[in-house]
């Protein structure tokens, strides 16, 4: 199982808590998925209001690690302020850092991301940066104090899967000892299995489960997919080849 900042997490599946049809369906999705981490948007919940307090009670009752995020932030300063609010509200130093640089694609702002990551690690936060598959950016985030990386599979909410296989494979190969989570863009359990087969430590998703026809069933499907992906990774899969190779030996074949 993955280890993030010295904490063992019981599942390779992480789920968001937004967009579910009801609190009961959210809770059932987490139960059937066995997800080990729940991400929570700080902007969506106000700790001093009854609705926010009720949501926090629901999240605590899930019995999983909470990873607040800075969703919706478009500057380093805004993200740092939101992270400080999250630490006070959710009583954790963990923060999923999002600094959005493009409104349409929701692509991270690499400059603001590194700036915010450096500031937060100095304040004692354990930062999980939402980033792209760019290797240079990844190294800058590690230099800033991050010990986990969360590269996207595709833009948030698109369900396109792993759109840059080469970039993700390169990132994983160049930084083999860094815990990495594929965050955003996954739409199907098969895409999650593919990510784990490539050696990524976990996947994080929200829309693919919450907006499906059966969120709890889809959550369980993703849970089974990440298990299958890890079994395949550990089994050392065969390399693909260009030419056919017979699985049945020719020796001993009947001569007609």
Per-residue pLDDT of the chain (256 residues; tens, 9 = 90+): 889 999 999 999 999 999 999 999 999 999 999 999 999 987 655 554 545 667 778 888 888 999 999 999 999 999 999 999 999 988 899 999 999 999 888 899 999 999 999 999 999 999 999 999 999 999 999 999 999 999 999 999 999 999 999 999 999 999 999 999 999 999 999 999 999 999 999 999 999 999 999 999 999 999 999 999 999 999 998 888 888 887 777 666 666 6
What are the residue numbers of the active site?
96
Q: What's the Rg (C-alpha) of the chain?
A: 20
Q: CATH for 3-234?
A: 3.20.20.70
* H or E stretch covering 3: strand 3-4
On whether 69 is known to bind a ligand per the annotation, the reply is: no
Q: Where are the domains of the chain?
A: 3-234
207 annotated ligand-binding residue: yes
pTM: 0.90
Residue 184 assigned as binding residue? yes
- Annotated binding-site residue? 206: yes
Answer yes or no: are the C-beta atoms of 70 and 128 closer than 8 Å.
no
- Taking alpha carbons only, the member of 85, 10, 2 closest to residue 41 is 85
167 labeled binding residue: no
């Amino acid at each position: 199982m993955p280890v993030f900042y010295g904490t063992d997490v019981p599942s390779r599946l992480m789920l968001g808590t937004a967009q579910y049809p009801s609190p009961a369906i959210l809770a059932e999705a987490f139960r059937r998925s066995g997800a080990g981490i729940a991400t929570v948007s700080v902007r969506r919940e106000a700790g001093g209001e009854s609705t926010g307090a009720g949501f926090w009670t629901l999240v605590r009752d899930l019995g999983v690690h909470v990873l607040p995020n800075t969703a919706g932030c478009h500057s380093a300063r805004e993200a740092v302020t939101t992270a400080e609010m999250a630490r006070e509200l959710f009583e954790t130093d963990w923060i999923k850092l999002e600094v959005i640089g493009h409104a349409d694609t929701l692509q991270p702002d690499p400059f603001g991301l590194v700036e915010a990551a450096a500031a937060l690690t100095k304040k004692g936060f354990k930062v999980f940066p939402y980033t792209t598959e760019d290797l240079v950016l990844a190294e800058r985030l590690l230099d800033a104090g991050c010990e986990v990386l969360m590269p996207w599979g595709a833009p948030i909410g698109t369900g396109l899967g792993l759109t840059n296989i080469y970039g993700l494979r390169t990132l994983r190969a160049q930084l083999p000892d860094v815990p990495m989570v594929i965050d955003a863009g996954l739409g199907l359990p098969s895409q999650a299995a593919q990510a784990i087969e490539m050696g990524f430590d976990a996947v994080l998703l929200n829309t693919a489960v919450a907006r499906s026809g059966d969120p709890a069933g889809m959550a369980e499907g993703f849970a089974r997919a990440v298990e299958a992906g890890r079994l395949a990774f550990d089994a050392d899969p065969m390399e693909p080849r260009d030419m056919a190779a017979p699985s049945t030996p020719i020796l001993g074949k009947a001569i007609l």
